[in-house]
Chain A
Amino acid sequence: TQLLEQSPQFLSIQEGENLTVYCNSSSVFSSLQWYRQEPGEGPVLLVTVVTGGEVKKLKRLTFQFGDARKDSSLHITAAQPGDTGLYLCAGGNAGGTSYGKLTFGQGTILTVHP
């Protein structure tokens, strides 16, 4: 069974601060995805990274895939109250017997105070 350890579980910060969320596994994934989920709604895809060492930027959000494709991080610069939500990482398999399988981390609840 593949596992993804996401940390921290909770993050409470002031507007303007920077933060990083980590996602680690002992397994290699074909892709690492990051989602954001609002209460009562389904997760919304933010980004997919597929190449070891890949870095993607989405405005103030920077996503990185580890060289060995076992870990990833999400960095938010100058957080805003609108960034508040549940952030989820998910590891995808695009080959072998687990093709199509997606494993989620436990999630990080981020609260940004004005």
Chain B
Amino acid sequence: EAQVTQNPRYLITVTGKKLTVTCSQNMNHEYMSWYRQDPGLGLRQIYYSMNVEVTDKGDVPEGYKVSRKEKRNFPLILESPSPNQTSLYFCASSFAGGYGYTFGSGTRLTVV
């Protein structure tokens, strides 16, 4: 089944403790992207990647890092999480930039 898999689905952590949210897709898509979704603010793009080793900032990149060492994987790294990064995070992939994306099921992160 074609899909984007994120892990974990739920995560509660403490301020400052580094964490990684994994994302993997099995569709051989070139483009991958991370979003956060917050009430009243909608979905905002954090980072996106056009190919292996090629990434670019979205609208809200501060406090996040990404890497794209393999085509199928695009992990999101929070080096020092803060409470304002509490949010619902989605990873997505697409065969072509700017066109339809397939989304993962989301990761609900709480930073206390």
Contacts and interface: CB of A to CB of B under 8 A. Distances in A.
Interface of A: 1, 29-31, 33, 35, 40-45, 48, 50, 88, 90, 92-95, 99-107
Please report whether the interface of chain B is mostly helix, strand, loop or mixed according to DSSP: strand
Interface of B: 4, 31, 33, 35, 40-45, 48-50, 56, 58-59, 90, 92, 96-106
B43 A43 contact: yes
SS class of chain A's interface: helix, strand, loop or mixed? loop
Nearest to A4: B42
12 contacts: A33-B101, A40-B106, A42-B90, A42-B92, A93-B98, A94-B96, A100-B31, A100-B97, A101-B45, A101-B56, A101-B97, A103-B59
Nearest to B59: A1
